[in-house]
Structure 1
Amino acid sequence: MITRAVVVPQPPLLVPRLSPGPEPELAALREACLAAVGRLGPRWTAVGAAGKDQVIGPDAAGSFLGYGVDERVSLSADGVARALPLPALIAGWLRERAGAEAVEVRLVDRATPPEDCARKGSELTGDLLILGDGSNRHGPRSPGSEDERAPAFDEAVAAALAKADTRALLKVDPGLADELGAGGRVPWQVLAGVPGEWRAELLYSAAPFGVAYHVAVWERG
């Protein structure tokens, strides 16, 4: 049975060597992410979105070289180097900082409907690491260009994560999420499919660089 789950974003800027320098908002985000994963046990199941369903075992390792710096990470102590997608790289980086033994990464097709996301969530085991960003359309400097719908969208997501409101998460519209560049929709809805009652705590929710980032911890009620 899953006893706890952590929701974090996946910007490469979480990694200090990939960040532009001292930045209070970035430091606060990083601190929240590390505090959240510190509550997980020694072995994790990570869930992220990708172009197709895929499972990456803990015997893998990779590098952020594609993002500008050869920062190497591993999903376990015995990881073998290969090309890894961003969710797996962030999962590995967080695992190492938390001192966890291993993380298996489950990537879910980003076009998966909410009901299928929920079904996948009902089949998971182990402590969960849910990886995904909110809308990338906050403000005039946002990567996806400003959209006036973005603030309300991410306020609703943050409220659902803060209350462990699985029904609200499952109601997130896939089309709207895509239009707003919210890559976390699928992983959040996988989490929403995990059965049981939860206590929730929202550790961080902001859009410091035009992209919304949410950090939350869910534990069994």
Structure 2
Amino acid sequence: MLVAAAVCPCPPLLVPEVAAGAAPELDIARAACAEALGVLAAARPDRLVVVGPAEQSRQGPYQEGTRGSLGGFGVALEVRLGAVQGVGPGGGKPDWAAPERELPASLAVAAWLLQRTDWSHAPVEGLGVGEPFAAERCIQIGKEIVARAERVALLVMGDASACRSLKAPGYLDERAAEFDAEVARALAAADVAALEALDAALARELMASGRAPWQVLAGAAEGAGLSGALLYEDAPYGVGYLVAAWS
């Protein structure tokens, strides 16, 4: 059963070392992410599953302790999924015989968020999803995730549209603001049906990387009776960033 969920954006710029001099611009977003993770901790889950967008070669499951790197963004910074420094999976001594496959960027950012808050409340696993996953597949994945433990929490990574301004990665698309507003409304209301109904083709055109992870959340939340709260909404750099907590 899903007992809580946190929804966070996944730009590498969330990591201050990557943002460098621009780091203060996302301080409010980082604080909102920390607040959302606090909701997960308060729910006392048996397991935390981190879901984030990934290119096809990096889709699939990742075990606790898997290494991630932000070296591709100009920073020699490594993270481990769900492990605080000096503590291995499950809270024991470190044993980093982790698989060679490296975390996708979204899960690396999630791992950084978890380490920043010293997450030690439940075992952690990761899952990379994305195109060409249809809504039905994402929803089914969410149902399967929550069927595996009595109390499951989700940390759902993903950005809204990348077409909110002329300087945005996808340039300006007049449809972007309306799309992001609907996602924000759905996250604020924990509206499972609205997330399930998101238009995958439109999301792809608007470069909204969160579409598949949000629909995994929707599948996991069916029948859970959770309420939502939108903690942050903005579009710096022309990309929609949303932070929400469901409990």
TM-score by length of 2: 0.83
**Amino acid of the structure 1 residue aligned with 2:68:** G
Whether 2:234 is the aligned partner of 1:206: answer yes
Q: Which amino acid aligns with 1:132?
A: G
Distance 1:4 1:109, change over 3 A: same
Matched, 1:91 2:97: no
Instruction: Please give the alpha-carbon distance, in whole angstroms, between the structure 1 residues aligned to 2:231 and 2:156.
Output: 14
**Correspondent of 1:145 among 164, 171, 184:** 171
Give how far 1:68 is off: 0.6
Residues 61, 72 of structure 1: 8 Å contact kept: yes
1:50 matched residue in structure 2: 54
- TM-score where L is the length of structure 1: 0.93
Residue 9 (1) aligns with residue 9 (2)? yes
SS in 2 for 1:100: coil
Contact 1:95 1:103 (C-alpha < 8 Å) held by counterparts: no
What is the CA deviation profile of residues 161-195 of structure 1, one whole-angstrom value per residue up to 9, with x for unaligned ones? 00011111111101000000000000001111122
Give the equivalent residue in structure 2 for 1:70: 76
Which residue of the other structure, out of 144, 167, 184, is the alignment partner of 1:123? Answer: 144
Bigger helix fraction: 2
CA distance in structure 1 between the aligned counterparts of 2:16 and 2:25, rounded to whole angstroms: 13
Consecutive unaligned residues of structure 2, counting only runs of 5 or more, are 89-95, 147-151
Instruction: Show the counterpart of 2:194.
Output: 168
- Take 1:80 and 1:73, find their aligned partners in 2: how far apart are those partners? 14
Deviation at 1:6, TM superposition (A): 0.4
Maintained 8 Å contact 1:45/1:128: yes
Mapped to 1, the partners of 2:130 and 2:158 lie a distance apart of 13
Superposed CA RMSD in Å reads 1.7
Q: Distance in 1 between matches of 2:64 and 2:22?
A: 32
Alignment of 1:19-58 (within 5 A): 19-22=19-22, 25-41=25-41, 43-52=47-56, 53-58=59-64
SS at match of 1:3: strand
Residue 129 of structure 2 is matched in structure 1 by 108
The one-letter code sitting in structure 1 at the alignment partner of 2:113 is L
TM-aligned CA deviation for residue 62 of structure 1: 2.3
Looking at structure 2, the residues matched to 200 and 156 of structure 1 have their Cα atoms a distance apart, in angstroms, of 14
Identity %: 43
SS at match of 2:40: coil
Cα deviation, residue 110, structure 1: 2.1
Provide the C-alpha distance between the structure 1 equivalents of 2:180 and 2:204, rounded to a whole number of angstroms.
Answer: 13
2:54·2:105 contact (CA, 8 Å) conserved in 1?
no
The question of whether the paired residues in 1 share the 8 Å contact of 2:52 and 2:129 is answered with yes
In terms of fraction of residues, the more strand-rich structure is 1
One-letter code aligned to 1:163: A
Q: How far is the alpha carbon of 1:198 from its aligned partner?
A: 1.2
**Over 6 Å off, 4+ runs:** none
**What are the Cα deviations for residues 17-67 of structure 1, in whole angstroms up to 9, with x where unaligned?**
011425554111111111111222375210112233411100212221111
Aligned equivalent of 2:244, options 206, 211, 216: 216
Is contact 2:62–2:127 with CA below 8 Å preserved after alignment?
yes
